[in-house]
């Protein structure tokens, strides 16, 4: 049983750090606000007398020994936010894991397996791409060195930002000892649980995704004196591709989503033809073949638009993640935990990427989703009632206990 009052208090406490005037969070990874919430998190782990490690990627772990030295059960999520993001998102999962550990402590429960809590670095991927970069390194899918060299929009290197906030740890960014399983709680971020009137989500896997950045290089010139046929307008080319991306879902899989989230134009003057335009895209689907086909179509649109407008193109991949199916035994643990507590649970595939994507390649994994009202996230309007937060946290704790054993 999770202590509801303390749980809600802890959620509110974390939401003060990096709070903005919209009721949301500005707690981008490796900023001062991120440092502050990490310091707070470490204090909570210290108060529980956990064995705390910070690894080379800034991932912060706290370990509670079990009766045996068997593989540990890893629990957690992330405390970083999007720009002007919501207060639930990843923090709900970190706080639920923390409350689970506090409850074990309060009730003097010794688990069979060691239990570990983690706060992953840079889950959001808004400042540094790819998202979930630090769990990816931890899972051995990319190198620390490559991650360190990643730069943000201002050219700041990941490693420098990490050192600046004092979270470049000594522990190698890789599993320290065997893990039995990883369990993550997160808000759904989509509308399905609320629309279906469910209490909690049992997540069976994660869609694959492809992120890219396209840059068109045209030629700056005067908007008034340059006849249309002599133009090389980078923004017209970009707009063509963006509307093409909008049309992808209707012509690919019925679960496909495709979006352009960011665009920048140079020189950006009302009376200068755009010379250089850079924009991003994000395509997702549960089926990796559909994503591959989507990427081909976007590239074809890109080449056609460049040809039409007489501009040069450049393509850079920003992230590529295959879809993931979670392990049956972990999904079952969540399903049974929800049933035990008489919650109306829905099984679903996550449309968002999570650190569970990478953990799933290290050990058996599953996730619990909390209801997202209106399906809103990555905005201060993101909202999950305390009832729904609590239902998810209880399901999570129960499932974790099943995996850890008593």
Ligand X SMILES: NC(=O)NCCC(=O)O
Give the footprint of ligand X on this chain (CB under 6 A): 123-125, 131, 189, 222, 224, 271, 352-354
Binding residues for a copy of itself restricted to 113-142, rule: CB under 8 A: 124-126, 129, 131
The stretch near a copy of itself (CB under 8 A) out of 30-38, 132-140, 266-274, 286-294 is: 266-274
Distance set, CA 131 to CA 25, 120, 137, 375 (Å): 18, 11, 11, 21
**Shorter beta-carbon distance to ligand X: residue 189 or 260:** 189
Applying CB under 8 A, does 250 fall inside the site for a copy of itself?
A: yes
261/281 Cα distance (integer angstroms): 7
Distance set, CA 7 to CA 2, 98, 312 (Å): 7, 9, 54
Give the x/- contact pattern for a copy of itself in 158-197, rule: CB under 8 A: ------------------------------xxxx------
User: Binder to a copy of itself among 83, 175, 253, 310 (CB under 8 A)?
Assistant: 83
Q: How far is the CB of 189 from ligand X (least distance, A)?
A: 6
CB under 8 Å to 246, separation ≥6 — which residues?
258
**Shorter beta-carbon distance to ligand X: residue 66 or 351:** 351
Other beta carbons within 10 angstroms of residue 260's beta carbon come to 19
User: Which two three-digit tokens encode residue 9?
Assistant: 């208090």
Residue 246 interacts with which of a copy of itself, ligand X, none, CB < 5 to 8 Å by class: a copy of itself
Applying CB under 8 A, does 65 fall inside the site for a copy of itself?
A: no
Of 165, 163, 155, 196, give the one whose Cα is nearest residue 27. Answer: 165
**Shorter beta-carbon distance to a copy of itself: residue 132 or 173:** 132
Whether residue 130 has a cis bond before it, omega within 30° of 0: yes
Evaluate whether 136 touches 121 at the Cβ level (below 8 Å). no
Applying CB under 8 A, does 228 fall inside the site for a copy of itself?
A: yes
The stretch near a copy of itself (CB under 8 A) out of 7-15, 172-180, 213-221, 325-333 is: 213-221
Applying CB under 8 A, does 246 fall inside the site for a copy of itself?
A: yes
Evaluate whether 364 touches 74 at the Cβ level (below 8 Å). no
Q: How far is the CB of 54 from a copy of itself (least distance, A)?
A: 26
Evaluate whether 76 touches 184 at the Cβ level (below 8 Å). yes
Cα 178 from chain centre: 24
Of 56, 170, 75, 178, give the one whose Cα is nearest residue 121. Answer: 56
Binding residues for a copy of itself restricted to 295-324, rule: CB under 8 A: 318
User: Which two three-digit tokens encode residue 351?
Assistant: 């449309």
7/96 Cα distance (integer angstroms): 7
Residue 272 interacts with which of ligand X, a copy of itself, none, CB < 5 to 8 Å by class: a copy of itself
**Shorter beta-carbon distance to a copy of itself: residue 203 or 362:** 203
CB under 8 Å to 122, separation ≥6 — which residues?
29, 30, 78, 80, 128, 131, 132, 133, 134, 158
Of 180, 186, 196, give the one whose Cα is nearest residue 112. Answer: 180
Residue 19 interacts with which of ligand X, a copy of itself, none, CB < 5 to 8 Å by class: none
The CA radius of gyration of the chain, in Å to the nearest whole number, is 22
**Shorter beta-carbon distance to a copy of itself: residue 129 or 215:** 129
The stretch near a copy of itself (CB under 8 A) out of 30-38, 267-275, 291-299, 330-338 is: 267-275
Applying CB under 8 A, does 151 fall inside the site for a copy of itself?
A: no
Q: What angle do CA 103, 106, 108 make, to 5 degrees?
A: 100
Q: How far is the CB of 271 from ligand X (least distance, A)?
A: 3
φ/ψ of 233, rounded to 5, equals -95, 110
Applying CB under 8 A, does 93 fall inside the site for a copy of itself?
A: no
Query: Residues interacting with a copy of itself, by CB under 8 A?
Result: 82-84, 124-126, 129, 131, 188-191, 207, 209, 211, 219-228, 230, 233, 235-236, 238-240, 242-243, 246, 249-250, 257-265, 267-275, 280, 282, 284, 318, 350-353, 372, 375-379, 381
């Amino acid at each position: 049983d999770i202590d509801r009052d303390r749980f809600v208090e802890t959620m509110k406490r974390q939401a003060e750090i990096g709070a903005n005037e919209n009721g949301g969070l500005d707690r981008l990874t490796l900023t001062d606000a991120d440092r502050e919430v990490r310091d707070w998190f470490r204090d909570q782990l210290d108060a529980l007398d956990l064995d705390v490690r910070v690894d080379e990627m800034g991932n912060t772990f706290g370990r509670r020994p079990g009766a045996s030295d068997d593989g540990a059960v890893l629990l957690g999520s992330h405390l970083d936010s999007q720009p002007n993001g919501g207060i639930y998102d990843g923090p709900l999962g970190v706080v639920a894991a923390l409350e689970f550990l506090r409850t074990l402590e309060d009730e003097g429960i010794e688990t069979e397996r060691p239990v570990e809590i983690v706060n992953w670095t840079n889950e959001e991927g808004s400042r540094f791409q790819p998202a979930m970069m630090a769990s990816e390194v931890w899972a051995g899918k990319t190198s620390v060195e490559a991650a360190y060299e990643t730069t943000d929009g201002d050219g700041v290197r990941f490693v420098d930002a990490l050192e600046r906030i004092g979270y470049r740890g000594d522990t190698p960014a890789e599993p320290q000892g065997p893990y039995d399983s990883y369990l993550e709680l997160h808000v759904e971020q989509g509308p399905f649980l609320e629309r279906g009137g469910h209490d909690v989500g049992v997540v069976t896997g994660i869609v694959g995704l492809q992120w890219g950045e396209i840059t068109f290089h045209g030629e700056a010139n005067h908007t008034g004196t340059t006849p249309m046929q002599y133009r090389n307008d980078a923004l017209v080319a970009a707009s063509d591709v963006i509307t093409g991306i909008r049309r992808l879902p209707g012509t690919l899989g019925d679960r496909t989503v495709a979006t352009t989230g960011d665009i920048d134009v140079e020189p950006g003057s009302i009376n200068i033809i755009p010379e250089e335009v850079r924009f991003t895209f994000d395509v997702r689907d549960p089926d990796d073949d559909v994503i591959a086909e989507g990427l081909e179509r976007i590239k074809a649109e890109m080449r056609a638009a460049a040809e039409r407008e007489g501009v040069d193109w450049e393509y850079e991949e920003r992230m590529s993640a295959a879809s993931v199916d979670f392990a049956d035994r972990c999904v079952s643990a969540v399903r049974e935990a929800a049933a035990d507590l008489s919650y109306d649970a829905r099984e679903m595939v996550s449309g968002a990427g999570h650190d569970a994507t990478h953990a799933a390649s290290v050990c058996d994994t599953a996730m619990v989703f909390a209801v997202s009202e209106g399906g809103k996230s990555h905005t201060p309007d993101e909202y999950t009632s305390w009832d729904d937060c609590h239902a998810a946290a209880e399901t999570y704790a129960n499932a974790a206990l099943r995996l850890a054993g008593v």
